[in-house]
Chains A and B, each alone.
Chain A
Amino acid sequence: MAQATLASRETAPAAFQTIRTPDAHPRPTKVKASGVKVFYGPKQALHGVSIDIPVKSVTAFIGPSGCGKSTFLRCLNRMNDTIDGCRVEGEILLDDRDIYDPSLDVVELRARVGMVFQKPNPFPKSIFDNVAYGPRIHGLARSKTDLEEIVVSSLQKASLFNEVKDRLHEPGTGLSGGQQQRLCIARTIAVSPDVILMDEPCSALDPIATAKVEELIDELRTNFTIVIVTHSMQQAARVSQRTAFFHLGNLVEEGPTDQVFTNPVEKRTQDYITGRYG
């Protein structure tokens, strides 16, 4: 008995059918992935993932460690290009444009699809320069006052301005962990991206800082499409509108957050959510 259930969990079927539950009122698709496979050398990390990310809402990726959710996230802004030996197959469309098209400028892609990392990584520059760097290199500010406006409004949108308005020229690395992460979010939104990818943004933060960042994500979703990878199911339940469950490189189930957490279709999803494994 025990052996049989163990087998059904550990081996992933070759051609996998994701269980999808559409929204009652589906929003337009911002990012469309079809049959995305990722190989690290000979090892296959993702087996044909297909998903539609709706615009201006929060989509959460959950799953046990090593299931491929961060790998898939990094495909969306081609950060996997920086990893030696990583090969991506399949198609990912941003607003109906293939992001792996050779004619597409990957720098422009990364400005339109921003990323916030697990460990806050502000540049060792001043807070002002941290936020101003993106607009500077992309020529988004025509003058110094323009640039200051962009920096101030980004910091305000990231709920950080009031805390740092007196010390904009102090180094960004001197802030607390939660403030640093909000600074990284401000830095990302300063270039006015369409999509913000967040790879476990709160896992290095204390509960109060986590609450602030989650509040921020809720405010940001009115203007940006957000995809968040999280280990915490409570966080996914609080913050997202749609949830996708990954397991062993496959997208097992995706649907509205309420439905996935209260009434999952797949047994594996249920087992993970109720804590039987993962």
Chain B
Amino acid sequence: MSDTALAGPVDWTSQQAAGRRRSRHAANRRLQFYGIAAISTAIGLLGLLITTLVIGGYPAFLQTKITLDFPIKAEYVDAANPAGGNYRAVVRDALLGIAPEATTPPQQRLLGQLLTNNTQFFVRDAVVANPSVIGGTLTLTVPASDPIDQLNKGLIDRDLPENQRRVNDVQLGFYDRLVAENRVSAPFNWALFFNADSRFPELAGLAGAITGSFYALLVCFLISFPVGIAAAIYLEEFAPRNRWTYLIEVNINNLAAVPSIVFGLLGLAVFIQVFGIPRSAPLAGGMVLALMTLPTMIIVTRASLKAIPPSIREGALGVGASKHQVIMHHVLPLALPGILTGTIIGLAQALGETAPLLLVGMNAFITSPPGGILEASTALPTQIFIWADSPERGFTSRTSAAILVLLAFLVVMNGIAIFLRQRLERRW
């Protein structure tokens, strides 16, 4: 090369060196700033989502209830057949007790609209459970109807002209009277969790959806867990490395990216029409979810198996264990924490899937939770979809509340996965 000697020591005090130092520090600060900006944006958007949901949904966690005295007159209810009594009349009399001036049918209709439509059935069930009140007075707390519920929560503007309001002036008067008599309360809305779906928002709940989701996830787990693990063990431990296994691997990875609605079409065309599984059944939904979770299970299990150091396998082989013993006694137990974490995360993803369940019909309108995996049912995400479409005002806040319930389930499941991963993490 040339005849020059190597450059002398760097002058760290010169202008250029100081300039380089400044620009290095500036580049560092810029990179940190970009990182902080990115994470702030992400957290900000997430916060915006949660805040919107909470603001929209918290009214649904309270339900306005009205306490009334229902005179159970013997002329309306026969002690020999309590279930067959004229409970409409009982309810009418109870309301007349509040507003004796409501004598005409239109006024009584307005009065009746204060309470939920099914009040007569609540009274009937109470009397059947306790026939001794016949002839006396039953004090019962029943849900208010949706307009009164909205009014009590302050969601109806009293200053609007009457024809623009859901609650007219007469009903406002009745309501104020009930409030004055301390008959209006707004306790926690347990019905949201324990009632099934209903036409009436004040009676609608998620019990059917939660049960349906539970059954569907159960079926999904029972199918995808053994099949996924067995497939992954075969691919990782036994399969020869040739063109066919490479093709299988590529296809499995691609399956994980298939749009979920395609699985829904498969469920509709094959599971329901060819296999004859009843429509809207959690079995069909569960099988479709299993197909979607399978690629995730296989990929996660393979990663867990690959993470086991070969020294463990060699140690076991060296003592004279067969391949099957090496896998079942050494490799699988050590891979289990990773597999479990992946399973829970896969199930959490399956919980939130909506499109395939809609195609399989798991948005049935059912008024009681499904008894088994073959009965028509809904699931949490599809229930949200149904409620979002409903015209009643009360369903607006209930939709947001249902979304919050779904998010809570997801957070709990992911939390369990993270907790398990921490607890069961091993160091070899």
Contact with B along A67-79 (1 / 0, CB 8 A): 0000000000101
Q: How far apart are the CA atoms of A83 and B330 in the complex, in Å?
A: 19
- Shortest CB-to-CB span from A134 to chain B, Å, is 4
Q: Which residues of B contact A187 (CB under 8 A)?
A: 315, 319
Q: Which residues of B contact A112 (CB under 8 A)?
A: 320
Residue from the list A84, A110, A173 in contact with B241, Cβ < 8 A: A84
Residue from the list A84, A109, A123, A173 in contact with B330, Cβ < 8 A: A123
Q: Does B316 interact with chain A (Cβ within 8 Å)? A: yes
Contact between A123 and B316 (Cβ–Cβ < 8 Å)? yes
Contact between A119 and B317 (Cβ–Cβ < 8 Å)? no
Q: Does A108 interact with chain B (Cβ within 8 Å)? A: yes
Q: Which residues of A contact B313 (CB under 8 A)?
A: 82
Q: Which residues of A contact B319 (CB under 8 A)?
A: 110-111, 114, 133-134, 137, 187-188, 191
Contact between B321 and A124 (Cβ–Cβ < 8 Å)? no
Given A121-B311, A123-B312, A124-B426, the answer on whether A108 and B317 have CB atoms closer than 8 Å is no
Count B-side interface residues using an 8 Å CB cutoff: 20
Residues of chain A in range 75-117 having any CB-CB distance to chain B below 8 Å: 77, 79, 82, 84, 107-112, 114-117
Residue from the list B320, B329, B426 in contact with A111, Cβ < 8 A: B320
- Shortest CB-to-CB span from B295 to chain A, Å, is 26
Contact between A107 and B311 (Cβ–Cβ < 8 Å)? no
Q: Which residues of B contact A184 (CB under 8 A)?
A: 315
Q: How far apart are the CA atoms of A124 and B315 in the complex, in Å?
A: 11
Q: Which residues of A contact B322 (CB under 8 A)?
A: 107
A115 — nearest CB in chain B belongs to which residue?
Answer: B318
Residues of chain A in range 108-150 having any CB-CB distance to chain B below 8 Å: 108-112, 114-117, 119, 121-124, 133-134, 137-138
Contact between A188 and B330 (Cβ–Cβ < 8 Å)? no
Q: How far apart are the CA atoms of A152 and B205 in the complex, in Å?
A: 64
Q: Does B428 interact with chain A (Cβ within 8 Å)? A: yes
Q: How far apart are the CA atoms of A111 and B317 in the complex, in Å?
A: 9
Q: How far apart are the CA atoms of A5 and B321 in the complex, in Å?
A: 48
Q: Which residues of B contact A119 (CB under 8 A)?
A: 311
Contact between A110 and B317 (Cβ–Cβ < 8 Å)? yes
Q: How far apart are the CA atoms of A173 and B426 in the complex, in Å?
A: 11
Q: How far apart are the CA atoms of A82 and B315 in the complex, in Å?
A: 12
- Shortest CB-to-CB span from A8 to chain B, Å, is 36
Q: Which residues of A contact B311 (CB under 8 A)?
A: 117, 119, 121
Residues of chain B in range 323-378 having any CB-CB distance to chain A below 8 Å: 325, 329-330, 334
Contact between B314 and A117 (Cβ–Cβ < 8 Å)? yes
A77 — nearest CB in chain B belongs to which residue?
Answer: B318
Contact between A124 and B334 (Cβ–Cβ < 8 Å)? yes
A-B interface contact total, Cβ < 8 Å: 65
Q: Which residues of A contact B320 (CB under 8 A)?
A: 107-112, 114, 134, 137-138, 191
Q: Which residues of B contact A110 (CB under 8 A)?
A: 317-320
Q: How far apart are the CA atoms of A158 and B426 in the complex, in Å?
A: 27
Residue from the list A109, A137, A173 in contact with B321, Cβ < 8 A: A137
Q: Which residues of A contact B312 (CB under 8 A)?
A: 121, 123-124
- Shortest CB-to-CB span from A54 to chain B, Å, is 23
Residues of chain B in range 277-325 having any CB-CB distance to chain A below 8 Å: 311-322, 325
- Shortest CB-to-CB span from A66 to chain B, Å, is 20
Contact between A122 and B426 (Cβ–Cβ < 8 Å)? no
Residue from the list B241, B318, B321 in contact with A117, Cβ < 8 A: B318
Q: Which residues of B contact A122 (CB under 8 A)?
A: 315
A197 — nearest CB in chain B belongs to which residue?
Answer: B318
Q: How far apart are the CA atoms of A110 and B319 in the complex, in Å?
A: 6
B314 — nearest CB in chain A belongs to which residue?
Answer: A117
Contact with B along A5-38 (1 / 0, CB 8 A): 0000000000000000000000000000000000
Given A123-B312, A173-B428, the answer on whether A133 and B329 have CB atoms closer than 8 Å is yes
Contact between B315 and A123 (Cβ–Cβ < 8 Å)? yes
- Shortest CB-to-CB span from A115 to chain B, Å, is 4
- Shortest CB-to-CB span from B244 to chain A, Å, is 16
Q: Which residues of A contact B241 (CB under 8 A)?
A: 84
- Shortest CB-to-CB span from B327 to chain A, Å, is 13
Contact between A82 and B426 (Cβ–Cβ < 8 Å)? no
- Shortest CB-to-CB span from A42 to chain B, Å, is 17
B426 — nearest CB in chain A belongs to which residue?
Answer: A124
Contact with A along B105-129 (1 / 0, CB 8 A): 0000000000000000000000000
Q: Which residues of B contact A137 (CB under 8 A)?
A: 319-321, 325, 329
- Shortest CB-to-CB span from A120 to chain B, Å, is 9
Contact with A along B388-428 (1 / 0, CB 8 A): 00000000000000000000000000000000000000111
Q: How far apart are the CA atoms of A134 and B322 in the complex, in Å?
A: 11
Q: How far apart are the CA atoms of A77 and B313 in the complex, in Å?
A: 15
- Shortest CB-to-CB span from A137 to chain B, Å, is 6
- Shortest CB-to-CB span from B393 to chain A, Å, is 60
Q: How far apart are the CA atoms of A84 and B329 in the complex, in Å?
A: 23
Q: Which residues of B contact A79 (CB under 8 A)?
A: 314, 317-318
Q: How far apart are the CA atoms of A114 and B319 in the complex, in Å?
A: 6
Contact between A121 and B317 (Cβ–Cβ < 8 Å)? no
Q: How far apart are the CA atoms of A47 and B394 in the complex, in Å?
A: 85
Q: How far apart are the CA atoms of A258 and B161 in the complex, in Å?
A: 115
Q: Which residues of B contact A117 (CB under 8 A)?
A: 311, 314-315, 318
Q: Which residues of B contact A114 (CB under 8 A)?
A: 318-320
Q: How far apart are the CA atoms of A122 and B316 in the complex, in Å?
A: 9
Q: How far apart are the CA atoms of A112 and B319 in the complex, in Å?
A: 9
Q: Which residues of B contact A115 (CB under 8 A)?
A: 314, 318
Q: How far apart are the CA atoms of A90 and B367 in the complex, in Å?
A: 77
A112 — nearest CB in chain B belongs to which residue?
Answer: B320
Q: Which residues of A contact B317 (CB under 8 A)?
A: 79, 82, 110
CB<8 Å pairs between A and B, sample of 10: A84-B241, A109-B320, A110-B318, A110-B319, A115-B318, A121-B315, A123-B330, A133-B321, A133-B329, A137-B319
Instruction: Name B residues whose Cβ lies closer than 8 Å to a Cβ of A.
Output: 241, 311-322, 325, 329-330, 334, 426-428
If A133-B316, A137-B319, A137-B321 are given as contacts, then 20 extra A-B residue pairs at C-beta distance below 8 Å, sorted by A number, are A82-B313, A82-B317, A84-B241, A107-B322, A109-B320, A115-B314, A115-B318, A121-B312, A121-B315, A122-B315, A124-B426, A124-B428, A133-B319, A133-B329, A137-B320, A137-B325, A173-B428, A184-B315, A187-B315, A187-B319
